[in-house]
Chains A and B, each alone.
Chain A
Amino acid sequence: MIRVSLILSVLLLAPLSGCLDSSQSALESVESPDDCVVYTGDDDNTLKILTYDSLAISDEVLSEFTNQSGYQVELIRGDDAGSVLEKMMLAKDAPQADLAIGLDNTYLQTALNNCLIAPHNATVPDLNPLALVPYAGDRAVPFDHGYICLNVDTSALEENNLSIPTSLEELTDEAWRGRTAFPSPTTSSPGRVFMTATIDYFEQMDSIDAMRWWEDMADNDAIFTTGWSEAYEIHYSGGYGVWEEGHIGDAWLTVSYCHSPGVEAYFGGNSTISKSVIIDYASFHQVEYAAKINGGGDAAAVDEFIEFLLSEEVNVEMPFYNYMYPVLEGQDLPETDGYRYHSPIPSTPAEVSNERIAEEMDDWLAAWRTATDYI
């Protein structure tokens, strides 16, 4: 009987698995997001938000939204911004959330091209015009932003008689051998953003190809990591990582936000040894978006939450909760404990359009992996 059952199980399960995925279509790109068919899911009075692990909106804030709107909120956390996009792709046929929070401008176009997000009807207040440069349509609303750039440990540079680099090419010098740490663009959002900046930097310099520089960096024993945390906490000697378990501190330079030294100073009593490196075209303006998921439900709740996220009382808290700039017009980082003072804004960040990023990112990533022999 058991033998028969075993055979029956296999016979039943094998064809089942074969037919289950036959309906799964490959991701289809459209010429314009306007060509996408918009689906609507069921309303269940619970707003489900897909976001990244480190999004920090306090319970009090979420409770306030529930009190104001009557909608319950559930946060579904992925790993990082890339993970948010991937989970949306994976669950495209049966979306599990109504609102995505955290896609940035290097991922947004892919989401748009694949019809993963739908237009919202939220009333959007006046936003910082800079935050609307990458995208100003009705399918995604910026809720915070910041600039990605290189950070250096000024103390280590001083001890080793090095000056703050003024070009990326300097980092291939012998003095920097094994002293730089970069999160992989394949697995880290800041890594992806910085690699995009290097594409523009080397095009603007009209010197070598960006991937040649990455190859040179790999030859100069640059440390590559899968995530920002590993690069900043474990390897970078100038940040809070020195206090953390597992710190190695072998890198004097890493990729982070231009305002990371400001956050360090804010939590360190206006004191930090970390400093942003402002090099023309070697930084990138990252904007993070809230977007209605195509096929998700509770459209009214989505709109209300977007408005709530952009309300002054919530958005001005972004520097404290999410360590990013607010997007509201006229709002900035706080001056407290050197937060603003240690957060320079690059005058000439890299400029790469969302469309170009979506079109060429796969090729860049493949070339980057070949150049660095990393994942």
Chain B
Amino acid sequence: MRSTVVRTVPVVLYLSMILLPLLFAVDRLMLVTGSNPVESVFQIDEHPFGSDAVKFTFVQAFLSAILTLLIGLPIAWWLGRYQWKHIGVVRAALTLPFVTPSIVAAMGFLALIKNGGLLHSIGIDLRTETGIIGSLSSTIGVENSGHIIALLVAHAWFNLALVIRFVEPRIATLPPRYEDAFRMLPVGKTPFDRLAKFWWPMLKIPILSAFTFTFLFSFTSFALVRWLAPDMWTLEALMATVGGSAGIPGYRVEVSRFILGAATLQAIVLIAALGLTSRMQQRNFQETEIVSEGFSRTMNGQPGLLPKIGVFMATIFALAPLVFMALSSVRIRNRTTDSYRWSLEAWEYAFQGDLSYVSVPEALTNSLVYATGCLLISCTLGFFVAHSIHTLEKQNRKKLAQTIDVLSMLPLALSGVMVGLGVLLGTLKIWPELFNFYGLPILPHAMLTTPFVIRILLPAMREIDPDYEAMGMVLGFNAIQRFFKIKIPLLKPQIVVASALSMAFSLGEFGASWVLLRSGAWDTLPVLVDQLMSRPKYFELVTPIAMASATVLMCTTFLLFVIAERFRTHKGGGF
């Protein structure tokens, strides 16, 4: 009975945490519009950009996912097959884009593609679309093709880590004897045969998972669309732009109707995608045995020249926008001449907190406090929800396990606007005083990061040999002792990775907080960056100060990932 309660309470708590805000938001929007969510989906085209946004959202998300796989798969293959020096640092570098706040990513890419930037100087003008890109636009007849290319590449950059994190562990932990045995068969003689008949069946699940998640994140992209493709609209970008007017009875009802319809459509698509992924992953864990990645890599030895060049280029690709962004913090335009100077003035301003905003140390302190709170809640809840799902699977109650699994991923299917609006409305109705509570931002952060904790811990729990549990019982350990002496030590690497990831996501979270009313004393680093970027920039230090703040955020995140990589072991895929 007690173990049932331990399993049930976190599930109910977590589902309440994610469902209540959603219900509040949907209920308010239904009240304002007089429409139900399904009706509203069919009214999306009443918005001037509604139909175009739906089409562009699907097309760019699909193309982004394809491009990400094209870039990411060779890298994952090389990383998984060979022995690399400093692989933890390389992995952290390749993962950094994924946890970079999107506004920072956008600034990094703009620094690369701007007039006079690296790409522009080699004749690739993605911004004003002259030269080759202009010709391409004319030839294919697609308006703003330079902007679209920039967006797709940025999405590939952002999601590269997903492909590597899903696919590389599977390659690295597959027993080499499988491949050796397959080579002996007539059907496995040529590389193409092995690719089609051995590797594809082995890797299709992580590849499709990576595709799905990349599609999902590109589908809900906002800041990158806003900055890199300013004349194009995705559903999320439209919702974020007009969302401030939503949910107010008697005021701009058409906006509430659009938000309700777009959020519903988005949720339908994303829930379907997540359900598919969950189903695939459940099937996957039963299929293959694994070995330690060190063993597998030793069999294949050191990488050759091509893998070295490939991984080097990928690392450059991952870091270039961030390096250019960091450089922008010390490259200051001169007020009166057509030139730049190198200076640390922006860093001084950033650390002093001038321009009426909080200082970087204050914002960093807020960010770290929220990240720690988020870690505690999301890791605790995530652990027990994953544990409950795993227990249900072991009890062969797979449908219920899958239902909870899909529901647990619901926050990934919600737009930041919906999460923010839901928390805002929920707090206003249930407990308005909560707005004066410094810890309020932890709630949306935990809502958004717990699904990742579950996704990391659940596959690891599935891999634990049940014999350990039986052995503990033989030794006379009670349930609590088995939990602390067997389960926690076995899951320690995944718990550390989940902790680092949830802290990193919290550090970079921006979307939901953006919708919430926020107190200046609570400003986090991403909010500070956005506030600075929203200011008129007559004063030449405004952008460099924003870039300095973003660089601090980036370095903090990078540090967390290097720490996580020291604990990370590969056990059968997942993030």
- Chain A interfacial positions (CB closer than 8 Å to B): 1-3, 5-6, 8-9, 13-14, 16-18, 20-21, 24-28, 44, 48, 50, 53-59, 62, 74-79, 82-83, 86-87, 89-91, 93-94, 96-97, 186-187, 225-226, 229-230, 232-234, 240, 243-250, 263-264, 266-269, 271, 321, 323, 362, 369, 373-375
Contact = CB atoms under 8 A, between A and B. Distances in A.
Contacts of A97: 517
Interface stretch (B18-26, B59-67, B194-202, B461-469): B18-26
B333 A243 contact: yes
B247 A90 contact: yes
Residue among B114, B127, B244, B400 with max Cβ neighbours from chain A (10 Å): B244
Contacts of B230: 225, 230, 234, 246, 248
A323 B251 CA distance: 31
Contacts of B415: none
Contacts of B250: 26-28
Given A91-B428, A246-B114, A248-B127, A240 B518 contact: no
B160 to A, nearest CB: 22
A233 B400 contact: no
Which 4 residue pairs of A and B lie closest in terms of their CB atoms, listed nearest first?
A: A269-B336, A245-B110, A26-B250, A17-B23
A187 B241 contact: yes
Nearest to A241: B537
A15 to B, nearest CB: 10
28 contacts: A1-B4, A3-B400, A5-B12, A6-B403, A6-B404, A13-B20, A14-B23, A17-B24, A18-B27, A21-B429, A26-B249, A77-B531, A86-B245, A86-B248, A86-B251, A89-B248, A94-B432, A225-B230, A226-B241, A232-B536, A240-B538, A244-B543, A245-B543, A248-B230, A263-B536, A374-B49, A375-B48, A375-B242
Contacts of A226: 241
A93 B400 CA distance: 40
A90 B539 contact: no
A318 B247 CA distance: 34
B40 interface: no
B491 interface: no
B28 interface: yes
B531 A57 contact: no
Contact of A79 (B26, B227, B244, B539): B244
A20 B356 contact: no
Given A21-B24, A27-B248, A53-B531, 17 more contacts: A16-B20, A20-B24, A53-B534, A56-B355, A58-B354, A62-B356, A76-B517, A79-B534, A83-B244, A90-B428, A94-B428, A97-B517, A245-B111, A269-B335, A323-B538, A374-B49, A375-B238
Looking at A2, A44, A225, A266, which has the most chain B CB atoms within 10 Å of its CB?
Answer: A2
A55 B49 CA distance: 31
Contacts of B49: 374-375
Interface string B1-38: 00010011001100110011001101110010000000
A186 B539 CA distance: 28
A80 B7 CA distance: 46
Residues of B contacting A: mostly: helix
Nearest to B8: A5
Contact of B242 (A50, A62, A75, A187): A187
Nearest to B29: A21
A34 B530 CA distance: 39
Contact of A321 (B114, B252, B356): B356
Interface residues of B, number: 74
B311 interface: no
A247 B12 CA distance: 49
Contact of B47 (A55, A269, A375): A375
Nearest to A372: B48
A57 B110 contact: no
Given A2-B11, A267-B540, A58 B242 contact: no
A225 B488 CA distance: 53
A58 B356 contact: yes
Contact of B15 (A6, A83, A90, A375): A6
A268 B336 contact: yes
A172 to B, nearest CB: 21
Nearest to A366: B254
Interface string B232-261: 000000100110110111111000000000
Nearest to A86: B244
B335 A9 contact: no
Interface string B57-88: 00000000000000000000000000000000
Given A21-B429, A74-B520, A268 B20 contact: no
B388 interface: yes
Interface string B432-459: 1001100000000000000000000000
Contact of B28 (A16, A24, A56): A24
B573 to A, nearest CB: 26
A17 to B, nearest CB: 4
A96 B435 CA distance: 7
Contacts of A271: 336
Nearest to A87: B517
B428 A263 contact: no
A21 B356 contact: no
Contacts of B470: none
Contact of B517 (A96, A245, A248, A266): A96
Contacts of B294: none
B227 A246 contact: yes
A323 B536 contact: yes
Nearest to B228: A246
A3 B551 CA distance: 47
A269 B336 CA distance: 5
B473 interface: no
B328 interface: yes
Nearest to A92: B248
